[in-house]
Amino acid sequence: MGAQKKRAAAAAAAARVSEDPDDLARQPLQAILLADSFTTKFRPITLERPKVLLPLVNVPMINYTLAWLEAAGVAEVFVFCCAHSKQVIDYLENSEWFSQPNFTVKTIESHNIISAGDALRLIYEQNVIHGDFVLISGDTVSNMSLTQALQEHKERKKKDNNAVMTMIIKKSKPSPITRQSRLGTDELFMAIDPNTKQLLYYEDKADHSKGTICLDKMLLAENPSISLHNDKQDCYIDICSPEVLSLFTDNFDYQHLRRHFVKGLLLDDIMGYKIFTHEIHSSYAARIDNYRSYDIVSKDIIQRWTYPYVPDVKFCGNRATKLERRGMYRALEIEQSRSAQVGSFTVIGYGTKIGSNSKISDSVIGEGCTIGSNVLIEGSYIWDNVIIEDGCELRHVIVCDGVIMKAGAVLKPGVVLSFKVVIGERFVVPAYSKVSLLQQPTVHDSDEELEYADNSSGTVEFSSIQGTADQSNGEMTSESSEAHKPKLGTGGVGYIWSICEGGQEEEWRHSVAPIPEDKLTELSEAMDDDQELVTQDRTALSTSGELISDSNASEGDDNEDSKDDSVYFEKEVEATFLRAVEENVKVDHVILEVNSLRLSYNMTSADCAGAVFYSMMKLAIKTPHSSASELQQNTANIITTWQKLLKSYLLEIDEEIEIILKFEEMCLESAKEFSPLFARILHILYDKDILQEDAILRWADEKEGADESDKVFVRQSEKFIQWLREASEEED
């Protein structure tokens, strides 16, 4: 009995001790896989097939994600299907994923969802997520181990209930010239607390033209240490606590995972939710976001960074493929002419035929393709059952299933041919064009996020067109060849999508083709210019900064910002002032308005004085006048009417000096007409008690040591200054 009791007690103790790890183990890890990216970057291909089913090195993308989730120990995956949900579900049902023990795949289908936020809200309503879960999109390739990240997440969660999310990041340097990551996304700036790994700032749409990013100064005030990175890549793998779903439900305007959710949490310090990061080093993770990342990730797979998810290892029913020397992957039953040259880092799919003297390098060829003789294929992605006739040239293109390229056709870099397009004989498809059997949707909303609203109609449209194509293929070809003869050559079928306005810029950034030389030189030149500009700014600023005041001339970055701000501020003040003049607003009200502007731009009253004075002078110069004396008269009038406004900012002598300096600057640059009148207007200002003699004398003293060129106006008003000095001496 005693022994039994002891055993029971021991068991209980063991249970208590092992509660936590047990808890970890027993709670099956769940994952939400979004089988829709809610973007349109892969159009026109995604009009016909969902992105997650597009082949990546001859295996549908979703298989990489699912295979990784399974290997990472996820027990249950909810695949959220939206666009082309039927295709995704059909594919999954016929795949082996539904028959795995210890790994369940469930699909959730919805058609009226237009964003990731909506999807998560829907999943929340279904109440299927019970614990921590992995949030991933179906176009992510990874081989990382989740164990450590998951453990860190759980431990943090135990200590701090507000640590709701762990974001996986990886080091990857962005290109210094194009300011985009190797995956074709914009340069990403992150501020991370180096000790706790808490994410403090996330900006993926930084304005590069300015060359600056703005950090909230509270960030620096609140955190003892902070490290700012631009060499991290967001892997778009998140470990989330169940709270994340309810957060989405609470904030019904969250749509985008990063732009709204992450930034929203970072900005909103009321709830105090925190996001942490986990950096992976040796393992791989990347999301396919655009054509460039499709290219890059394909190459990474071929270079085996994603091992064991590589073509020659069977991980999800991919065909047996052998890796040969120089990184050539060849499936079985390939017919290759003896004279064909297949170069390094190529993948050739099952049952493909390659004719004589064809050259293939750095490319992926799908299954059942027929490639004629003297064909050149370089850096291209050719999917299944494509027929390429003799003498075609393909460089850095994507060619979808069932495309036929007639003899001699040429595809320039960056071309995307969607399903079943036919390119006519000797036709040259211009660079970066996208060709599809479907016509381009007429309404092109530039906001990619919310554009999926018309997605369902897109599929319907597709099916109808497909129907007609199937029923009356001949008719269709004749018709379209008639209509589009000039477009795709003789016998060509398909529409070339027009590149939307402003899209030209994006095309080369995100296409599969490498960035052309001229663009690169253009960019690097632009960057040099930028740098010059910045340095120029700095020098200009530092000289004038010394002159203005010795307050904050030291901090370069700060100054740049404040300079930008001050320009805006001046414009605002000027607009306010002009409106006041036009509408005869009371002076008090104008003061109030300028004050509010001053607060919002965080300006000193000297800035206000300068800006107000500047606007007054601008007004004076704009009022019609024929001679200098008339201009002087106008100025005097305006100064008299608005002296109260000006005076309300002239609290100290510094502000008065600021006005003189401003005036001087105007005379030199924007309003040269004033330059002969400088001394007289100075006198008027003195007369009206706007400027005191101390200010003028101090200004004159300061100018004493300046360059000759700077002293033009001092000399002009020498007499006046002289008079002032004498007057003060007399007083003494």
Residue 307 near other proteins by CB under 8 A: yes
Least separation in angstroms between residue 492's CB and other proteins is 27
If the CB atoms of residues 66 and 666 are measured against other proteins, the closer one turns out to be 66
Q: Are 61 and 51 in contact (CB under 8 A)?
A: yes
What does the DSSP 8-state code read for residue 84? B
Residue 393 near other proteins by CB under 8 A: no
Least separation in angstroms between residue 173's CB and other proteins is 5
CA distances from 134 to 96, 106, 126 (A): 22, 15, 17
If the CB atoms of residues 298 and 459 are measured against other proteins, the closer one turns out to be 298
CA distances from 224 to 171, 218, 232 (A): 24, 11, 22
Least separation in angstroms between residue 520's CB and other proteins is 6
Residue 444 near other proteins by CB under 8 A: no
- Binding characters for other proteins, 236-255, by CB under 8 A (x = yes): --------------------
If the CB atoms of residues 173 and 644 are measured against other proteins, the closer one turns out to be 173
3-state secondary structure of 101: coil
- What amino acid occupies position 81? C
Q: Are 170 and 282 in contact (CB under 8 A)?
A: no
Q: Of 645, 638, 694, 685, whose CA–CA distance to 664 is shortest?
A: 685
Stretch that binds other proteins, among 99-107, 197-205, 499-507, 709-717 (CB under 8 A): 99-107
If the CB atoms of residues 231 and 673 are measured against other proteins, the closer one turns out to be 231
- Say how far apart CA 420 and CA 470 lie, in whole Å: 12
End-to-end CA distance of the chain: 113
In this structure, what token pair is assigned to residue 447? 């906001």
Site for other proteins in 185-244 (CB under 8 A): 231
If the CB atoms of residues 102 and 112 are measured against other proteins, the closer one turns out to be 102
Q: Of 162, 166, 165, 183, whose CA–CA distance to 174 is shortest?
A: 183
- Binding characters for other proteins, 413-442, by CB under 8 A (x = yes): ------------------------------
Residue 364 near other proteins by CB under 8 A: no
The correct pick among 44, 60, 117, 184 for binding other proteins (CB under 8 A) is: 184
Q: Are 417 and 398 in contact (CB under 8 A)?
A: yes
Residue 619 near other proteins by CB under 8 A: no
The correct pick among 178, 241, 374, 480 for binding other proteins (CB under 8 A) is: 178
The correct pick among 6, 171, 571, 672 for binding other proteins (CB under 8 A) is: 171
- Say how far apart CA 434 and CA 542 lie, in whole Å: 50
Q: Which residue has the tokens 């004085």?
A: 609
The correct pick among 220, 320, 460, 651 for binding other proteins (CB under 8 A) is: 320
Q: Are 154 and 161 in contact (CB under 8 A)?
A: no
β-pairing, 59-60 with 55-56?
antiparallel
If the CB atoms of residues 212 and 361 are measured against other proteins, the closer one turns out to be 361
Residue 346 near other proteins by CB under 8 A: no
The correct pick among 39, 40, 306, 605 for binding other proteins (CB under 8 A) is: 306
Residue 96 near other proteins by CB under 8 A: yes
Least separation in angstroms between residue 292's CB and other proteins is 6
The correct pick among 89, 334, 345, 547 for binding other proteins (CB under 8 A) is: 345
Residue 329 near other proteins by CB under 8 A: no
Residue 515 near other proteins by CB under 8 A: yes
CB-count burial class (<10 Å; 0-12, 13-18, 19+) for 162: middle
Residue 569 near other proteins by CB under 8 A: no
Q: CB atoms < 10 A from the CB of 554, how many?
A: 10
Residue 259 near other proteins by CB under 8 A: no
Residues in the chain: 732
Least separation in angstroms between residue 43's CB and other proteins is 21
CA distances from 691 to 419, 603, 637, 656, 658 (A): 77, 21, 16, 6, 11
If the CB atoms of residues 476 and 523 are measured against other proteins, the closer one turns out to be 523
Dihedral sign of CA atoms 214, 219, 223, 224 in order: positive
3-state secondary structure of 240: strand
Residue 391 near other proteins by CB under 8 A: no
- Phi then psi dihedrals of residue 232, to 5 deg: -110, 145
Q: Of 460, 441, 386, whose CA–CA distance to 417 is shortest?
A: 386
If the CB atoms of residues 180 and 455 are measured against other proteins, the closer one turns out to be 180
CA distances from 629 to 616, 625, 676 (A): 17, 9, 10
Residue 499 near other proteins by CB under 8 A: no
If the CB atoms of residues 129 and 302 are measured against other proteins, the closer one turns out to be 302
Size of the site for other proteins (CB under 8 A): 50
Residue 110 near other proteins by CB under 8 A: no
Residue 527 near other proteins by CB under 8 A: no
Residue 282 near other proteins by CB under 8 A: yes
Residue 300 near other proteins by CB under 8 A: yes
CB-count burial class (<10 Å; 0-12, 13-18, 19+) for 407: middle
Residue 396 near other proteins by CB under 8 A: yes
- Say how far apart CA 364 and CA 299 lie, in whole Å: 9
CB-count burial class (<10 Å; 0-12, 13-18, 19+) for 153: buried
Q: Are 272 and 166 in contact (CB under 8 A)?
A: no
202 DSSP β-pair partners: 190
In this structure, what token pair is assigned to residue 334? 């390939």
β-pairing, 416-417 with 398-399?
parallel
Residue 94 near other proteins by CB under 8 A: no
Q: Which residue has the tokens 């403090």?
A: 200
Residue 274 near other proteins by CB under 8 A: no
Least separation in angstroms between residue 95's CB and other proteins is 11
The correct pick among 153, 154, 170, 330 for binding other proteins (CB under 8 A) is: 170
- Say how far apart CA 494 and CA 405 lie, in whole Å: 12
Least separation in angstroms between residue 298's CB and other proteins is 10
If the CB atoms of residues 156 and 395 are measured against other proteins, the closer one turns out to be 395
The correct pick among 21, 194, 272, 308 for binding other proteins (CB under 8 A) is: 308
In this structure, what token pair is assigned to residue 428? 């040259």
Residue 490 near other proteins by CB under 8 A: no
Stretch that binds other proteins, among 201-209, 313-321, 334-342, 348-356 (CB under 8 A): 313-321
Q: Are 82 and 110 in contact (CB under 8 A)?
A: yes
If the CB atoms of residues 172 and 633 are measured against other proteins, the closer one turns out to be 172
Stretch that binds other proteins, among 23-31, 257-265, 300-308, 712-720 (CB under 8 A): 300-308
What is the CB-side half-sphere exposure of residue 147 using CA atoms within 13 A? 4
Per CB under 8 A, residues contacting other proteins are 70-71, 96, 99-102, 143, 170-173, 175, 177-178, 180, 182, 184, 231, 281-284, 292, 295-296, 299-300, 303-308, 313-315, 320, 322-323, 327, 345, 361-362, 379, 396, 513-515, 520
